[in-house]
């Protein structure tokens, strides 16, 4: 960007930004002549993507700040009004991140200024509670201010439609178009005026209580909880996020005692005890695992800052092992379906929904119980969309999950819910104790029956302005010249989800892919191993997923050794493909 244009954009931003903290930040950078930093902050407007906003907090058009939030909210509000909502309503939640409360209030007051009655949670709440509130309050849209599990310098703005699902086609593109057209002065109403006019309504227990009551209806074995809960020891960490209040409350009401990691219990957007507040990361779970060792816990649980992702560790041979998202999803899938069969309440046309990068073990489990397994694109919004479709088709949703630690066991919500996943995992742990088994014993039963599976995720980060171009070049190169093998395993089938085509590399036979277009490439190898390449929709990363499996019937020790050896060859191929 030319310096003259950069200076113009800086002056325009400082004129329009009403929060002096963000203006001062830019003014100091100008005095320091930090032109590279300023260029990164102003070379574009922060992109409103198919799910909303996510970016680094700070002053500038390419940052998360009050002006960016008000612009996005103006576009979203106008889209809602243009789509015929009578007496339009919205609900807004926020997590524990820096400026989340401010950004939520800016959103609410923008909506109110445009005549939309707005419900705003009075304190931080998990993302799934926002999805619940949209449906419970019959709102036309919802927003949760969160950057999920990203590092502390990030925040975000996630948009939901009236079905409680994150926005999907056609609303996503329609909202993006409306946001990009926003110009001029932005509407805003004072909080005092919004409250006096009844346009702004602060909420808490009116939504909380029904949500917790709903969760408790999903308890399937109350007799097991009554018999086993007094002897189980559970350690939990909310990782400085929103999870402590809902998780502690629902467990307490069911009589299950949990011990929350004290250093990580209180909401804190700086996440002082972890580098990444993500239960997928072993380092994030260290303090909880250490407390688990000390307390000789039967289960260690963790939720991310907005309590939609859920991870666990379990005791094994005197220490603890982390259970992956694919493994926990498979355990929950099996437990829910097995329970329905045993209790004779399997619904008509049962279906499990998973993403295209989630383990195929879940398909084998579902089919073994007479349920079908449906694949969707990566992103839980596509699971929510499929749930909406099931309501019209007559299919019955019984479980959905994605490998990135997102699970949904109830049907009243249209997004992943770590609170209900924690509850179901605790019940599953107690049920396994009742039959003198551990969660690992349960997992090994699945491996014996369906084959041992192993999955890995490798991410490559692309930073700055050049990073976006490098990501694009990488995907174009793989699409133009697909690899012939990954390590010793030859590529048998290529699936190009962007062009919605799949073809056999030997015969050239093609077929259509019945999913929306998405910038994803998938390679099916020998022995049904799969490698998937996908640019992240929320971070400047390209993600490489690999999955391989053995034949069923092997002893788990033998099978895991065999599948690990297979994976090593695939990883070598991936490393050669994308060197550091």
> Which pLDDT value is given to residue 11?
97
Query: Cβ–Cβ contacts within 10 Å for residue 469, how many?
Result: 11
- Closest by CA to 353, choosing from 159, 551, 132, 165, is 165
Q: Is 161 helix (H, G, I), strand (E, B) or coil?
A: strand
CA 357 to chain CA mean position, Å: 14
Tell whether the model's pLDDT for residue 538 goes beyond 70. no
| Superfamily, domain 3-203 | Alpha-D-Glucose-1,6-Bisphosphate, subunit A, domain 3 (3.40.120.10)
Strand order in the sheet with 89-94: 52-56, 154-161, 141-145, 89-94, 117-121, 200-203
Q: Is the dihedral of CA 282, 284, 285, 290 positive or negative?
A: positive
pLDDT digits (tens, 9 = 90+) for 245-274: 999 999 999 999 999 999 999 999 999 999
Higher pLDDT, 535 or 523: 523
> How confident is residue 84, by pLDDT bands cut at 50, 70 and 90?
confident
Q: Which helix (H) or strand (E) holds 327?
A: helix 325-343
Query: Which of the residues 96, 100, 131, 148 is marked catalytic?
Result: 148
The C-alpha angle 476, 482, 488, rounded to 5 degrees, equals 140
Q: Under a CB-based contact definition with an 8 Å cutoff, are residues 90 and 74 in contact?
A: no
> Which pLDDT value is given to residue 471?
87
> Which pLDDT value is given to residue 463?
77
> Which pLDDT value is given to residue 336?
98
Query: Cβ–Cβ contacts within 10 Å for residue 369, how many?
Result: 17
pLDDT digits (tens, 9 = 90+) for 329-377: 999 999 999 999 999 999 999 999 999 999 999 999 999 999 999 999 9
- Closest by CA to 204, choosing from 102, 92, 291, 287, is 92
Average pLDDT score, the chain: 95
pLDDT digits (tens, 9 = 90+) for 429-463: 999 999 999 999 999 999 999 999 999 999 888 87
Domain ranges within the chain, ordered by starting residue? 3-203, 207-450, 453-577
Q: Do domains 3-203 and 453-577 have the same CATH topology?
A: no
At 224, phi and psi to the nearest 5?
-70, -40
Query: Cβ–Cβ contacts within 10 Å for residue 14, how many?
Result: 17
Q: Under a CB-based contact definition with an 8 Å cutoff, are residues 567 and 546 in contact?
A: yes
Alpha-carbon distance of 15 to 185, in angstroms, equals 11
- Closest by CA to 85, choosing from 112, 110, 116, is 116
Alpha-carbon distance of 440 to 433, in angstroms, equals 11
Tell whether the model's pLDDT for residue 537 goes beyond 70. no
> Which pLDDT value is given to residue 579?
61
Instruction: Considering only CA atoms, give the Rg of the chain.
Output: 24
> How confident is residue 573, by pLDDT bands cut at 50, 70 and 90?
confident
Tell whether the model's pLDDT for residue 578 goes beyond 80. no
> Which pLDDT value is given to residue 299?
98
- Given the DSSP bridges, would you call strands 299-303 and 310-316 parallel, antiparallel or unpaired? antiparallel
**For residue 32, what are its two tokens?**
């320091």
Share of the chain above pLDDT 90, in %: 91
> How confident is residue 469, by pLDDT bands cut at 50, 70 and 90?
confident
> Which pLDDT value is given to residue 478?
94
Tell whether the model's pLDDT for residue 413 goes beyond 90. yes
> Which pLDDT value is given to residue 465?
67
Return the CATH number of the domain spanning residue range 453-577. Answer: 3.30.310
> How confident is residue 566, by pLDDT bands cut at 50, 70 and 90?
very high
Tell whether the model's pLDDT for residue 24 goes beyond 80. yes
Q: Is 364 helix (H, G, I), strand (E, B) or coil?
A: helix
* Residue 262, Ramachandran bin (φ over 0: left; ψ between -120 and 50: alpha; else beta): alpha
List all residues 6 or more positions away from 168 whose beta carbon is below 8 Å from its beta carbon. 50, 161, 381, 382, 384, 385
- Closest by CA to 5, choosing from 42, 37, 32, 34, is 42
pLDDT digits (tens, 9 = 90+) for 57-69: 999 999 999 999 9
Q: Under a CB-based contact definition with an 8 Å cutoff, are residues 469 and 540 in contact?
A: no
Per-residue CA distances from 128 to 32, 91, 419, 421 (Å): 43, 13, 8, 11
Alpha-carbon distance of 424 to 417, in angstroms, equals 11
Share of the chain above pLDDT 70, in %: 99
Higher pLDDT, 294 or 579: 294
CA distance from start to end of the chain: 29
> How confident is residue 407, by pLDDT bands cut at 50, 70 and 90?
very high
Tell me: domain 207-450, CATH 3.40.120.10, correct? yes
Q: Tell whether omega for the bond before 170 is within 30 degrees of 0, i.e. cis.
A: yes
Pure H helices in 170-295: 171-180, 191-196, 205-216, 222-228, 244-253, 286-295
Beta bridge partners of 547: 455, 530
Tell whether the model's pLDDT for residue 174 goes beyond 80. yes
* Residue 464, Ramachandran bin (φ over 0: left; ψ between -120 and 50: alpha; else beta): left
CA 235 to chain CA mean position, Å: 23
List all residues 6 or more positions away from 292 whose beta carbon is below 8 Å from its beta carbon. 235, 300, 313, 315, 320
Establish whether 148 is a catalytic residue.
yes
Of 20-34, 58-72, 201-215, 457-471, the range with the lowest mean pLDDT is 457-471
Of 4-8, 332-336, 389-393, 464-468, the range with the lowest mean pLDDT is 464-468
> Which pLDDT value is given to residue 51?
87
Beta bridge partners of 524: 493, 530
């Amino acid at each position: 960007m030319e310096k003259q244009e950069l200076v113009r954009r800086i002056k325009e931003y400082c004129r329009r930004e009403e929060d002096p903290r963000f203006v001062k930040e830019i003014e100091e950078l100008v005095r320091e002549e930090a032109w590279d930093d300023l260029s990164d902050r102003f070379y574009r407007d922060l992109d409103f993507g198919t799910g909303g906003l996510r970016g680094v907090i700070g002053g500038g058009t390419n940052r998360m700040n009050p002006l960016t939030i008000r612009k996005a909210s103006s576009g979203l509000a106008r889209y809602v009004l243009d789509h015929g909502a009578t007496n339009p309503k919205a609900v807004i939640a926020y997590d524990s991140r820096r400026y989340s409360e401010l950004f939520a209030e800016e959103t609410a007051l923008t909506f109110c200024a445009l005549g939309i009655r707005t419900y705003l949670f009075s304190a931080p709440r998990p993302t799934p509670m926002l999805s619940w509130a949209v449906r419970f309050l019959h709102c036309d849209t919802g927003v949760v201010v969160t950057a999920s599990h990203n590092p502390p310098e990030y925040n975000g703005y996630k948009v939901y439609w009236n079905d409680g699902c994150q926005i999907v086609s056609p609303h996503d593109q329609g909202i993006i178009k409306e946001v990009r057209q926003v110009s001029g002065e932005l509407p805003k109403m004072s909080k005092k005026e919004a409250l006096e006019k009844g346009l702004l309504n602060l909420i808490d227990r009116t939504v909380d209580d029904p949500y917790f009551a709903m969760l408790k209806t999903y308890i399937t074995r109350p007799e097991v909880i009554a018999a086993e809960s007094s002897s189980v020891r559970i350690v939990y960490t909310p990782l400085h996020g929103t999870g402590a209040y809902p998780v502690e409350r629902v467990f307490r009401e069911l009589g299950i005692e949990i011990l929350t990691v004290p250093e990580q219990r209180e909401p804190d957007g700086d996440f002082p005890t972890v580098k990444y507040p993500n239960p997928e990361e072993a380092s994030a779970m260290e303090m909880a695992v250490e407390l688990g060792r000390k307390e000789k816990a039967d289960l260690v649980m963790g939720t991310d800052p907005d309590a939609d992702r859920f991870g666990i560790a379990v005791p094994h041979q005197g220490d603890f092992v982390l259970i992956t998202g694919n493994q926990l999803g498979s355990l929950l899938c099996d437990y829910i379906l097995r329970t329905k069969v045993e209790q004779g309440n399997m619904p008509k046309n049962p279906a499990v929904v998973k993403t295209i990068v989630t383990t195929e073990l879940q398909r084998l489990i579902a089919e073994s119980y007479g349920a079908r397994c449906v694949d969707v694109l990566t992103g839980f919004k596509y699971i929510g969309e499929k749930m909406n479709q099931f309501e019209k088709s007559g299919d019955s949703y019984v479980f959905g999950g994605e490998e990135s630690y997102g699970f949904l066991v109830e049907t009243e919500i249209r997004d992943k819910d770590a609170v209900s996943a924690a509850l179901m995992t605790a019940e599953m742990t107690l049920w396994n104790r009742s039959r003198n088994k551990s969660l690992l014993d349960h997992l090994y039963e699945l491996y014996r029956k369906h084959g041992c599976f192993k999955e890995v995720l490798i991410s490559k980060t692309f930073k700055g302005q050049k990073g976006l171009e490098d990501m694009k070049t990488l995907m174009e190169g793989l699409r133009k010249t697909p690899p012939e093998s990954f390590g010793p395993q030859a590529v048998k089938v290529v699936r190009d989800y962007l062009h919605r085509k799949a073809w056999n590399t030997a015969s050239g036979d093609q077929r259509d892919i019945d999913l929306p277009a998405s910038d994803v490439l998938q390679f099916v190898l020998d022995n049904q191993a799969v490698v998937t390449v996908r640019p992240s929709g929320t971070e400047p990363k390209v993600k490489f997923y690999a999955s391989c499996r053995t034949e069923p019937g092997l002893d788990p020790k033998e099978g895991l050794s065999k599948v690990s050896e297979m994976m090593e060859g695939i990883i070598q191929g991936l490393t050669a493909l994308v060197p550091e």
